[in-house]
Amino acid sequence: MTSTATTIEAELEAAIRRDTADTADTGASRRDRFRLPEGRDGRPKAYLAGMSLGAQPTAARAAVEERLDAWARLGVDGWFDPERPWIDVERELAGATGRIVGAAPTEVTTANTLSIDLHLLLASFFRPDGARRRILIDAPTFPSDRYVVESQLRHHGLDPASDLVVVRPREGEDTLRPDDLDAAIDRQRDELAVAVLAGVNFATGQAIDIRRHTAAIHAAGGIAIWDLAHGAGNVSLALHDDDVDAAAWCTYKYLNSGPGALAQLFVHERFAARADTPRLAGWWGNDPATRFRMAETFDPGPGADGFRVSTPPILSLAPIAVSLALFDEVGMAALRERSIALTGALERLIDAHVPDATIITPRDPAQRGSQVTIRVRDAHARLAALEAFDVVADVREPDLIRLAPVPMYCSFEDVVRAVDALRQTA
């Protein structure tokens, strides 16, 4: 047995002891409240893919079945059932959602999907006027965000070739320098209409200083919209206090709400509380007091609810409620503390045992969430080899492997298993 293998074995023993102690004092882990994919030996796989799709809370199945039963028993009367009415069930999520993202309950709502919500927000806040008609984004950009932004520009008769500003890392670097982003925003101060930035980058895992860059956008005369697909439930957020104008995020990554689950959005109260804020309207955004009067005139509901459009999918809301209850139980502060410990362990072990891997995620815990991205040769072949060791991760082209030890359900043992698999598949 090599000395490296012996070291890995010692790391594994230490990780198991640490996990046992964490479970004994309850900590932030809720691993026993999730169903994780099983490996060949019947044990849970090392599931480090929560940045793509979160694991299933064990209570999700019963929650959906309860809604199915209500549908069978009550039919259309389920909307106004005296015990558990569906009519505004998404409002039940607002308090927990606000606590996760740092917002008042009236500033958040659950509706649509992420790309749709970004379109809706841009329809409200991208109002090109003369020279002030540019949209600024950061790179690498998740493709859907880029498609949304370019199509919005074209919708207004503008040309992405001249009116889309893309801020990229410097040549030879993987992540954005904060000063470079601020400088790029400032250079557009006469033309900037909106900036659409990722709170946590999907590829590199870099977390952006939302307060700082929102202030820079406002100083340049622009509106700040944040895509928090990889931020909500992952990093500490204070959307209201950071003066963010609007934001949107999916719930199926760190919020563990199921594949293709509904998204959520935030609109700061200075806009959400105003009936004259432009918006694309639909009847579920209408004031609940008048919604069923079938009025011909749209009267927006209070707060972010006035940005909803369509009848909510009641079955899909059930797992979201289950997951948010777990976040309320643990709290974001405890989850962040555990996340920093898990990613720190992963970083240290990769440095020590996987010499062919280059970590591109920032080393500073304040600049990352639960994701650590590495660059390796033959990433797809390496990922297939990891699967053989019952480690679940994913690839982003051309040569990146993303690993996310999500604090709610991943363990320190998972981290060691993943590094051991990377070591053996080098």
Averaged in consecutive runs of 10 residues, what is the pLDDT profile of the chain (426 residues)? 68 92 74 96 97 98 98 97 92 97 98 97 98 98 98 98 98 98 98 98 98 98 98 98 98 97 98 94 91 89 95 96 97 96 97 96 97 96 94 96 98 97 90
User: Rounded to 5 degrees, what are φ and ψ at 28?
Assistant: -105, -5
Q: Which two tokens stand for residue 112?
A: 């649509």
Catalytic residue among 30, 338, 402, 417: 402
Q: What pLDDT is attached to residue 25?
A: 57
How far apart, in whole angstroms, are the C-alpha atoms of residue 366 and residue 236? 10
Catalytic residue among 142, 254, 307, 409: 142
Q: Do residues 201 and 235 lie in contact, with contact meaning Cβ atoms separated by under 8 Å?
A: no
How far apart, in whole angstroms, are the C-alpha atoms of residue 268 and residue 245? 5
DSSP 217: H
Q: Which two tokens stand for residue 351?
A: 């440095």
How far apart, in whole angstroms, are the C-alpha atoms of residue 92 and residue 233? 18
How far apart, in whole angstroms, are the C-alpha atoms of residue 310 and residue 376? 44
Strand, helix or coil for residue 44? strand
Q: What pLDDT is attached to residue 28?
A: 86
CATH 3.40.640.10 domain residues, the chain: 88-328
Q: What pLDDT is attached to residue 137?
A: 98
Q: Is 227 considered catalytic here?
A: yes
How far apart, in whole angstroms, are the C-alpha atoms of residue 322 and residue 124? 31
Catalytic residue among 19, 138, 174, 227: 227
Q: 422 vs 5, 53, 99, 104, 157, CA distance in Å? A: 13, 21, 37, 43, 49
**Position 46, amino acid:** A
Give the number of residues written for the chain. Answer: 426
DSSP 397: T
Catalytic residue among 253, 308, 382, 417: 253
Q: Which two tokens stand for residue 337?
A: 């503390």
Q: Is 154 considered catalytic here?
A: no
CATH 3.90.1150.10 domain residues, the chain: 3-56+331-424
Q: What pLDDT is attached to residue 293?
A: 87
Q: What pLDDT is attached to residue 426?
A: 79
Residue partners of 296: CB distance under 8 A and separation at least 6: none
CATH 3.90.1150.10 is held by the domain 3-56+331-424: yes
How far apart, in whole angstroms, are the C-alpha atoms of residue 225 and residue 267? 9
For residue 372, give the nearest of 176, 175, 205 by alpha carbon: 205
User: What CATH number belongs to 88-328?
Assistant: 3.40.640.10
Q: Do residues 143 and 116 lie in contact, with contact meaning Cβ atoms separated by under 8 Å?
A: no
Catalytic residue among 252, 271, 307, 409: 252
Q: Is 142 considered catalytic here?
A: yes
DSSP 156: T
Q: What pLDDT is attached to residue 31?
A: 94
